[in-house]
Amino acid sequence: MRALAMAVVAVIVLVGGCAAGTTGTGESTHAPPPGTDGPVAGAVKTGETCNGTELLTPADGFTEVRGTSEDAELWGLLFAEVPFEAGAEVKIVWRMTGDGPLKVSATGPGGKRAELVWLEDHGGSNWRRPGYEWGTGWVFPAPGCWKVELSRTRGSGHAWLRVA
């Protein structure tokens, strides 16, 4: 019972986020713990990939994805089981280094576009990855591998996510 209560508190803190801890450049002042340029300590690679993007399941049970970028670091925290269900709204929290506002889009099979239902500035949370944090809500209309692209004034990247 104690473990369940702690898990509920962790979810509330993570989902809530907070505006404190940011600088004028849009970067979090919360320093990531040492060694977070790779999987979280205790994380397990799920073996699930979509066009080379691998999923990680940290010890807390939330699935992460590390995006691909040449000029930024990009991480996604997935609030739904993968593969996502086509037509259902999915929450993904992103952390990305760089500067400037975030622009996002997602393209799937046959050039279909996912619907971005919402995009909100989180300012931060207890999720320990580098960069500034935003929450997104998506509806992926069809099964397949979807390329989610994120860009800032300085910095861009992408991650592939599977939808069933």
pLDDT tens, residue by residue, 8-53:
334 333 434 333 333 333 333 333 333 344 444 444 455 566 888 8
100: helix, coil or strand? coil
What are the structure tokens assigned to 59, written together? 């010890």
161: helix, coil or strand? strand
pTM score, whole prediction: 0.73
> What integer best gives the mean pLDDT of the chain?
78
Q: Which pLDDT value is given to residue 123? A: 80
What are the structure tokens assigned to 157, written together? 């990247």
The mean pLDDT of 132-139, rounded to a whole number, is: 98
Per residue in 80-113, pLDDT tens? 999 999 999 999 999 999 999 999 999 999 999 9
Q: How many residues does the chain have?
A: 164
Q: Which pLDDT value is given to residue 52? A: 82
**Strands 115-121 vs 156-163: parallel, antiparallel or unpaired:** unpaired
Q: In what order do the strands lie in the sheet with 89-96?
A: 44-50, 53-57, 63-66, 74-78, 89-96, 132-139, 115-121
